[in-house]
């Protein structure tokens, strides 16, 4: 009897190992993406550094790079993306309904969003926190000086809820002036309808650099009143697509850790480092089959947008108008929180 049980256990383990060796099925979302020849990506209506279109309609930003990397990995072409601009109130419905494949729209991961919307959070691509911007002439030095003041804020966001919580916790009686679209909220602030504007600190830097007549006339107060881990979301129930989105993002972060760049990715394919081989499909390594992709999936993504650090520097870093430091968004071994799961 024991011998029979032992043999059955061995057979079960062997079967599991065999199953692990087979490539995964692409999943219904990837099937739809390949059938239409495009990744449909929900993005911000316009937030410099994250998702913004220029006068020719060309999109750029940290979130746009996520969309491009996914298209490169799944379709072999980073340009095969349809961008769908969405307001904060539209974004979740668009993903739930299947209008978009992925929501890459500076969206905060929270318990209620994870547990009640039928959506799944993937990987944080920017660690942020909510702050306040005020006119320099107000001479305000702290958010605590906003007692009884009006603050412009976008509806349907964690920002609106955080503002209410912060006001109540500190007995400030802040008066929110709420707008559906971010453009309306920022326009109202610059027109003087509110003494302050609140959103994620990165968004404040974006708005100040792109929309203020003179950025020096506005100051971002030092307090951060919340944690805002931002990242893409997908529909719950399609584990194959969820895995692809997750591992493309982890791959870009790990590429930075191992010195793989947009410029050297082809050369690095011949590296003797086993980790680099797994990332780029060098030698006999092929992680792509586990995701329902080919072995060059990540190499194409890196070639399209660079590693995570390159994407950050190009869109948000010191040489951009936003001039944001890496800070928490640095690699884990450089004092930040960017800690990719190992691609093995």
Q: pLDDT value at position 219?
A: 97
In a domain, 217, yes or no: yes
Name which residue leads in pLDDT, 29 or 17.
29
What distance in Å separates the CA atoms of residue 47 and residue 204, rounded to the nearest whole number? Answer: 10
5 pLDDT tier (thresholds 50, 70, 90): very low
In a domain, 9, yes or no: no
Measured between alpha carbons, how far is residue 64 from residues 56, 113, 121, 250 in Å? 16, 22, 17, 16
Positive or negative, the CA dihedral 195, 201, 206, 208 is positive
Q: Each residue of 271-315: pLDDT tens digit?
A: 999 999 999 999 888 999 999 999 999 999 999 999 999 999 999
For range 203-214, the mean pLDDT: 95
In a domain, 241, yes or no: yes
Q: Do 205 and 320 touch, CB atoms closer than 8 A?
A: no
What distance in Å separates the CA atoms of residue 174 and residue 164, rounded to the nearest whole number? Answer: 8
114 and 238 share a domain? yes
CATH number at residue 286: 3.40.190.10
Question: Could you list the residue range(s) of the whole structural domain that residue 161 is in?
Answer: 130-226
174 and 243 share a domain? no
The DSSP code sequence of 241-305 is HHHHHHHHHHHHHHHHHTT--TTTHHHHTT---HHHHHHHT-TT---HHHHTS-TTHHHHHHHHH
In a domain, 21, yes or no: no
Q: Each residue of 106-152: pLDDT tens digit?
A: 999 999 999 999 999 999 999 999 999 999 999 999 999 999 999 99
114 and 248 share a domain? yes
Number of structural domains in the chain: 2
Of 210, 226, 242, which residue is a domain's last?
Answer: 226
163 and 92 share a domain? no
168 and 222 share a domain? yes
Q: pLDDT value at position 135?
A: 98
96 and 67 share a domain? yes
Compute how many other C-beta atoms are within 10 angstroms of the C-beta atom of residue 65.
27
For range 184-212, the mean pLDDT: 96
Model confidence, pTM: 0.89
Q: Is the predicted pLDDT of residue 18 greater than 60, yes or no?
A: no
């Amino acid at each position: 009897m024991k011998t029979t049980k032992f043999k059955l256990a061995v057979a079960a383990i062997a079967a599991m190992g065999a199953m692990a060796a087979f490539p995964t099925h692409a999943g219904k979302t990837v099937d739809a993406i390949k059938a239409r020849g495009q990744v449909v990506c929900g993005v911000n209506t316009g937030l410099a550094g994250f998702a913004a279109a220029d006068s020719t309609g060309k999109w750029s930003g940290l979130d746009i790079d996520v969309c491009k990397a996914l298209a490169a990995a799944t379709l072999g072409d980073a340009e095969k993306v349809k961008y769908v601009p969405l307001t904060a109130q539209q974004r979740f419905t668009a993903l739930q309904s299947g209008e978009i494949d992925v929501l890459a729209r500076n969206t905060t991961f929270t318990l209620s969003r994870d547990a009640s919307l039928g959506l799944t959070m993937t990987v944080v691509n920017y660690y942020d926190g909510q702050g306040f911007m005020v006119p320099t002439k107000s001479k305000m030095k702290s958010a605590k000086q906003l007692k009884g003041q009006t603050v412009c804020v976008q509806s349907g966001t964690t920002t609106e809820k955080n503002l209410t919580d912060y006001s109540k916790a500190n007995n400030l009686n802040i008066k929110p002036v709420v707008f559906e679209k971010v453009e309306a909220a920022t326009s109202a602030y610059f027109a003087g309808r509110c003494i302050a504007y609140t959103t994620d600190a990165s968004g404040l830097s974006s708005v100040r650099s792109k929309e203020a007549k003179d950025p020096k006339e506005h100051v971002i107060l030092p307090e951060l009143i919340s944690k805002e881990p931002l990242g893409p979301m997908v529909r719950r129930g399609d584990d194959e697509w969820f895995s692809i989105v997750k591992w493309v993002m982890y791959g870009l972060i790990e590429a930075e850790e191992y010195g793989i760049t947009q410029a050297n990715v082809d050369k690095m394919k011949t590296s003797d480092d086993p980790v680099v081989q797994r990332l780029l499909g060098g030698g006999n390594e092929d992680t792509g089959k586990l995701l329902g992709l080919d072995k060059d999936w990540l190499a194409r993504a890196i070639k399209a947008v660079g590693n995570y650090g390159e994407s950050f520097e190009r869109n948000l870093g010191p040489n951009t108008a936003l001039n944001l430091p890496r800070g928490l968004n640095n690699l884990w071994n450089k004092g930040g929180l960017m800690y990719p799961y190992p691609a093995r």
